[in-house]
Structure 1
Amino acid sequence: MDILLRESLFGRLMNYSFNGKALPYPYDCIPSEKDASTSEACIWNNSDQFTVVQFIGPDDPEAPRNWPVLTKSFATFGVMLLNFSFYAASAIYTPSIPWVKETFGATDAEGTLGLSLFVIAYGIGPLVLSPLSNLPSIGRTPVYFFGCLTFCLFNIGTALAKNLHTILILRFFGGLVGSAPISVGGASLMEIHKPSQVPYAIAFYAVSGVCGPILGPILGTLVVQRWQDWSATLWLLSGITALTTLYVFFFLPETLSTNILLRRAQRFRAQTGNQSYRSETEMKTEKSNFFIDITRQTVDDFKLSCMDPVILFVNIDTMLIYGILYLWFEFFPFVFGEIYHLTAIQQALAFFGILVGAAISVIIYISWLYFYYQPRASKADAIVEPELRLVPGQVGAICIPICLFIFAWTSRASVHWIAPIIGTAFFAPGFYLTFQAILNYLGESYPRHVASVFAGNTFFRSSFGGALPLAAPQMIRALDIGWASSTLGFISVAMVPLPFILERVSFSHEY
């Protein structure tokens, strides 16, 4: 627990206030001329001007991958909690849309904009927050904390809004600043866990993101029906984000190694008075400009996402899947409200089909990892290409059109309501397995740019996913539910070959 508290933002502020005496670092190893072995353990390189500080060998207790299991568990849970709460924040607003339209006289498109602008904004946010969290002088934890805190304040402001324009503006900025967990979460988990453990951590991280949009409408409907007010969902969201903000402040440790080493070098300078101690990143960035660094990395992230053929190919695939997901979710009120005449709470419970599918998907994916992938990867002479990660995504790609066609042609009054719900269960393995395959594939193919690659992927899929829900009412009126859902099914059929093509086409990879 000492590392957990000391490396949290709370611990860092306490040590700053009490000159490092509140939660001292027992593992500091200050090089000494009298102890050559200690010097060699602590110093990466010497020069006439500087002594460069690094981790004390591969077993340094302060290195995130060497943390105790309890510390890793708290950090992993924190990242998952943030991911769940933020993805729930997009969909939790949905039950408020009819009330917003009634209260402020908004059209269907204007009501849906509260969802669309939020999703578009959290696609833009990672392009800034990801490079910000990569800066050694800042690190991951402040980005998480201040993102959560500001997001909480924007939710409170939205709940107090007196007109539609204020709601839309604050929803957009809330999505922008609150996107830290999807900007940094995957990178944090890869920094905490050893390579053999990362796939399992990412598996649970991803399912927390899948459960957010599913449980969000259920929770939102319950509070709206209870208090009969459009702002009830925003107050619920404010409470959730307040709790996550407190958790981050006290129990989410810093995971960025360059930040940990930077602060170690600063402690050495403070304790010895010797200003020659530097972290490696300090040596490289002494003459750099903060705003130039952020701008350069943001541009590099965008260029990497658009110009690398592998990443661009993957981004297009996930962009289409995400767009289909958010557009398809807009069909639910029409099917279960107007066709089956279910109450608002019963309509929200219809999402449980996807939740069941998600639980089955996690079991299948972890079983594949444990019984197939890990035994192959653990062999001493094994060479496991990142393309092997795409196998679950190939199964997932087939499940998505199955879901959409079942949903399309069972959503009618003459067919029992359980039939389309059974169809929805197929979307979870399609969505979950596809994103699992892609996240792990990108992470292994581009390990030095993992946060940047994830940020670019989020931008592509969220921009598309946020815009498509606006087309849902017109699509249903023009095509009816059968052909509207079938149209999405045909698009998903065209996407089925993409993970198979990606596996077979030979691209150059960065290792």
Structure 2
Amino acid sequence: MERKRIGNENIEVPDEMKSRGPKELFKVALTRPFRFLGTEAIIVFAALYNGYLYGLSFLFNAAFALVFGPEGHGFTISGVGLAFLGIFVGISFGPITNLWQERYYQRRIRDANGKNVPEARLQMGKVAAIIFPLSLFWFAWTTYQTVHWIVPIIASAFWGWSFYTLILMTYIYTEDAYKVYSASALAGIGLVRNLAGGGFPLFANQLFEDEGYQWAGTILAFLAVVLVPIPFILEKYGERLRLKSPWAREQVEEGESDEDTADADGTVDAV
């Protein structure tokens, strides 16, 4: 179409700009998320965090009924529901701390003369990665009936904050790293998230009843410990991983090209 509009049939059009038929578009939409999950380390890391966090959020439905219900602290059904207020408060506090994260990100962007710096999205996530398993350990070993019920609920508030912060970190980092391909990248992450969300409740009761509330929570906390290095790895090696990716590398090279052009034209000044 562009050749006809300009009247020059010799124009070379990049492959990604050539029109695609519905069949090809449908094929790409179905297969690319799986390719991201199979080949992109960044997406694997993000999917692991999202899957585990969402899985736990559904698992807690059963865990709270046991810990705070008739077999635990003796709450009624409505009381068990109110016990989730701890998580609600923690999640609600997340946007407040994200204001600091956003200021840090904007400062890094200014220091880089407007260049995209996805790794600047990870600062608060590093804190949340540590709080995440600590909150689970705290919750696990305060589920005794002899411990006041408010103590594990406070622990769940810290979990709620880490849940919000880590989910936001993985989403925004992925969008910044892949840009035009972020829909496919997030679709791959969403697949793992939904599978985990549907799978974790299937073994929740068995885990807490067979292992006991304390050791069941401890197992979950140790699994969270395994995930702690992820934001630290992405901060140190994220740019290297993006340059190795055929999709993320395009965004890095495009940003560098735009910056070089702006410097040559003198149309953009350092902020």
User: How far apart, CA to CA, are the structure 2 residues paired with 1:376 and 1:292?
Assistant: 39
Whether 1:449 aligns to 2:181 is: yes
SS in 1 for 2:141: helix
Give the aligned partner of residue 109 of structure 2. 377
Q: Show CA shifts across 1:374-420 (max 9, x none).
A: 23323572545211211221111111112111111111221111111
Whether 1:346 aligns to 2:79 is: yes
Give the aligned partner of residue 165 of structure 1. none
Q: Show CA shifts across 1:303-341 (max 9, x none).
A: 122212222232223223332332233200001102111
Give the aligned partner of residue 322 of structure 1. 54
SS in 1 for 2:200: helix
Whether 1:48 aligns to 2:2 is: no
User: How far apart, CA to CA, are the structure 2 residues paired with 1:44 and 1:332?
Assistant: 64
Q: Show CA shifts across 1:218-239 (max 9, x none).
A: xxxxxxxxxxxxxxxxxxxxxx
Q: Show CA shifts across 1:471-501 (max 9, x none).
A: 0111122111111111101111121112112
Whether 1:431 aligns to 2:168 is: no
Q: How far did residue 295 of structure 1 move?
A: 2.3
Give the aligned partner of residue 273 of structure 1. none
User: How far apart, CA to CA, are the structure 1 residues paired with 2:107 and 2:21?
Assistant: 47
Give the aligned partner of residue 54 of structure 1. none
User: How far apart, CA to CA, are the structure 1 residues paired with 2:56 and 2:111?
Assistant: 40
Contact 1:408/1:484 (8 A) holds in 2? yes
User: How far apart, CA to CA, are the structure 2 residues paired with 1:49 and 1:346?
Assistant: 73
In structure 1, the gaps of 5 or more residues are 1-42, 51-282
Whether 1:417 aligns to 2:117 is: no
Give the aligned partner of residue 407 of structure 1. 139
Aligned pairs, number: 234
Identify if the C-alpha distance between structure 1 residues 296 and 384 changes in structure 2 by more than 3 Å, giving closer, same or farther: closer
Identify if the C-alpha distance between structure 1 residues 330 and 45 changes in structure 2 by more than 3 Å, giving closer, same or farther: farther
Whether 1:357 aligns to 2:116 is: no
Q: How far did residue 429 of structure 1 move?
A: 1.8
In structure 2, the gaps of 5 or more residues are 10-16, 252-271
Give the aligned partner of residue 40 of structure 2. 308
SS in 2 for 1:46: helix
User: How far apart, CA to CA, are the structure 1 residues paired with 2:50 and 2:95?
Assistant: 19
Whether 1:336 aligns to 2:68 is: yes
Amino acid at match of 2:154: I
SS in 1 for 2:75: coil
Contact 2:101/2:121 (8 A) holds in 1? no
TM-score, normalised with respect to structure 2? 0.79
Q: Could you say which structure has the higher helix fraction?
A: 2
Give the aligned partner of residue 368 of structure 1. 101
Aligned runs of 1:160-309 on 2, under 5 Å?
Answer: 284-285=18-19, 288-309=20-41
* Structure of higher RCO (CA pairs closer than 8 Å, 6+ residues apart): 2
Q: How far did residue 49 of structure 1 move?
A: 9.1
Amino-acid identity (%)? 33
Contact 2:91/2:160 (8 A) holds in 1? yes
Q: Show CA shifts across 1:344-396 (max 9, x none).
A: 111101111111111222101123313x2223323572545211211221111
Q: How far did residue 466 of structure 1 move?
A: 1.2
User: How far apart, CA to CA, are the structure 1 residues paired with 2:50 and 2:135?
Assistant: 17
Identify if the C-alpha distance between structure 1 residues 45 and 405 changes in structure 2 by more than 3 Å, giving closer, same or farther: farther
Q: How far did residue 424 of structure 1 move?
A: 0.4
Aligned runs of 1:455-494 on 2, under 5 Å?
Answer: 455-494=187-226
Amino acid at match of 1:48: G
Amino acid at match of 1:442: T
SS in 2 for 1:330: helix
SS in 2 for 1:446: helix
User: How far apart, CA to CA, are the structure 2 residues paired with 1:466 and 1:353?
Assistant: 23
Structure possessing the higher radius of gyration over alpha carbons: 1
Identify if the C-alpha distance between structure 1 residues 389 and 380 changes in structure 2 by more than 3 Å, giving closer, same or farther: closer
Aligned runs of 1:39-118 on 2, under 5 Å?
Answer: 46-48=5-7
Contact 1:321/1:492 (8 A) holds in 2? no
Give the aligned partner of residue 213 of structure 1. none
- Point out the more displaced range, 291-300 or 421-430: 291-300
- Point out the more displaced range, 460-469 or 383-392: 383-392
Give the aligned partner of residue 265 of structure 2. none
TM-score, normalised with respect to structure 1? 0.43
